[in-house]
Amino acid sequence: MRRFDLVIKLLVAAAIVLFAMPVAAQTVLYDKSRITCVSRQMSVPVEARFKRFSAQIAFDPAKPAAGKARLDIDLDSFDIDNAEVNDEVVGKQWFDARTYPKATFVSTAIKPLGSNRFEVRGPLTIKGRTHEVSAPFTYKEDGGTAVFDGAFPIKRLQYNIGEGVWKDTDTVADEVQIKFRIVVAALKPASKK
Amino acid sequence: MRPQESYTRTAIALHWLIFALIAAGFALGIYMVDLPFSPLKLKYFAWHKWLGITVFALVLARIGWRLMHRPPPDDAIIPPWQRSVARAMHVVLYALIVVIPLTGWLYSSAAGVPTVYLSVMRLPALLVKDFALAELLKSVHVILNYTLLVLVAFHSVAAWQHHFIARNNVLRRMLPWTHPRRGNNGNA
């Protein structure tokens, strides 16, 4: 019986995922996509990467306002090339990734900024706190792929990232730059050059 | 007492300033590496790098100054073998004081962490990110530092020997607050 329940639940979940997806959702090429953040430690810019995230994107540059994007970032996949620092940042005072495993961004509006530039707005939730962010990005089609490239700043203390001794912004600056490069399969088939 | 019996005031100032900065950087380096990751640790690493870069700049100034201002001649009473050893020691000390900050800078570069001097001036990365190389450079940095520690110990013991046992001017001519002894070494 339990196994049967599980099968039903999985089928229902699959149906929800299938039908809830935007019609024009694009295939994200994760091996080519990157989400990184640049913090300043004692004025020294240090880049770290989120190795796992999921993105749902439906975007047509001809109709940007109809576009939609959702990003879910696994915070425990934070990697700054130093195991000790990784452990600290995933821990309670920073991301508290056990309690809040994901950072989530959901777009509410996308507007054109001219030529291939656009701006996406929406709530960003990290560690149980939500703030509105807006990120300018460029959209470029290249061969069979399309690339969304953008960056925006957040204030880490607004999200309570870095508690206790880490509240000191002289050591680690409040402002953190989030950079994204999301590569998707292009809407149109690749045209011959 | 002729002025050329002592080092110039600039040389004396640079010698002791560089010594103080190296001592501070060395002690900080040993202390900071075993600290748990904390804001203090980040601060100490930054200060350690700033000390190193300062020493690097000052030792280049000191070498430049020395090339333009001959050091005082050695006492005639000092045996030639001691002069040769002392000269070789000084060359190695200068070399280490130039190379050690450089290995730190190279290590930091290979580790992918830029150095921002005094939180103001971003120094260029000397190497691209390469963690295997960073580990190697870290070992080189540490080994050269302990080599420097041993050589500085010999250098000071030699200076004290000249001062307290041979009772000549060798140490005095590098001291900021005394003047060379008169006439007891046949060189005045």
- B132 φ/ψ angles, rounded to the nearest 5 degrees: -65, -45
Determine contact, residues A111/A118, Cβ cutoff 8 Å: yes
Mutate to test the interface with B, among A38, A41, A44, A79 (most CBs of B within 10 A): A44
Burial B104-127 (b: 16+ CB within 10 A, else e): bbbbbbbbbbbbbbeeeeeeebeb
Token pair belonging to A55: 């993105």
Amino acid at B80: P
Q: Answer yes or no: is A12 within a domain.
A: no
Q: Is the pLDDT of residue A10 over 80?
A: no
Q: Which residues pair with A37 in a beta bridge?
A: A48, A178
Determine the distance in angstroms separating the CA of A11 from the nearest CA of chain B, rounded to an integer: 46
A5 touching chain B per CB within 8 A: no
The answer, yes or no, to whether residue A138 has pLDDT greater than 50, is yes
Q: Do B46 and A42 touch (CB under 8 A)?
A: yes
Question: What pLDDT, on a 0 to 100 scale, did the predictor assign at position B185?
Answer: 45
Share of chain A above pLDDT 90, in %: 77
Assembly ipTM: 0.74
Higher pLDDT, B96 or A1: B96
Q: Is residue A14 part of a domain?
A: no
Within 8 A of A88 by CB-CB distance, chain B residues are 37
How far apart, in whole angstroms, are the C-alpha atoms of residue B152 and residue A22?
Answer: 71
- Any domain includes A10: no
pLDDT digits (tens, 9 = 90+) for A60-71: 999 999 999 999
**Residue B30 distance to chain A (closest CA, Å):** 18
Q: Is residue A132 part of a domain?
A: yes
Chain B positions in Cβ-Cβ contact with residue A171 (cut-off 8 Å): 39, 42-43
**Cβ distance A138 to A150 under 8 Å?**
yes
Domain count, chain A: 1
Write out the two tokens for A44.
């020294």
CB contact under 8 A, A41 and B115: no
DSSP annotation of A167 reads: G
Residues 83-102 of A with CB under 8 A from B: 84-85, 88
* β-bridge partners, B122: B116
- The pTM of this model reads 0.81
Structure token digits, residue B162: 């000249």
Q: Which residue has the tokens 């900071």?
A: B32
B38 CB-near residues (< 8 Å, 6+ apart): A165
| Interfacial residues of B (vs A; Cβ cutoff 8 Å) | 37-39, 42-43, 45-46, 111-116, 119-120, 129, 131
pLDDT of residue B77: 83
A186 pLDDT band (50/70/90 cuts)? Answer: confident
For the residues A82-105, what does the mean pLDDT come to? 95
A22 falls in which pLDDT band (50, 70, 90)?
very low
On the question of pLDDT at A149 being above 70, the answer is: yes
Q: Which residues from A are below 8 Å from B120, CB to CB?
A: 43
pLDDT classification of A193: cutoffs 50, 70, 90: very low
Closest Cα in chain A, distance from residue B16 (Å) = 28
Neighboring chain A residues of B35 at a CB cutoff of 8 Å = none
Q: Residue written as tokens 């190795």?
A: A51
Range of the domain at A35: 24-185
Q: Mind listing the pLDDT tens digit of every residue in chain B (188 residues)?
A: 454 578 999 999 999 999 999 999 999 999 999 999 999 999 999 999 999 999 999 999 999 999 999 888 887 888 999 999 999 999 999 999 999 999 999 999 999 888 999 999 999 999 999 999 999 999 999 999 999 999 999 999 999 999 999 888 889 899 987 665 554 444 43
> According to the model, what pLDDT value does residue A21 have?
47
Domains in chain B: boundaries: 3-174
Q: Using pLDDT thresholds of 50, 70 and 90, give the confidence band for residue A190.
A: very low
CATH topology of domain B3-174: Cytochrome Bc1 Complex; Chain C (1.20.810)
* CATH number of the domain bearing residue A178: 2.40.128.110
Which pLDDT score, from 0 to 100, does residue A7 have? 72
What chain A residue is nearest to B46 in terms of C-alpha separation? A42
Q: Mind spelling out the 3-state secondary structure of B20-88?
A: HHHHHHHHHHHHHHCCCCCHHHHHHHHHHHHHHHHHHHHHHHHHHHHHHCCCCCCCCCCCHHHHHHHHH
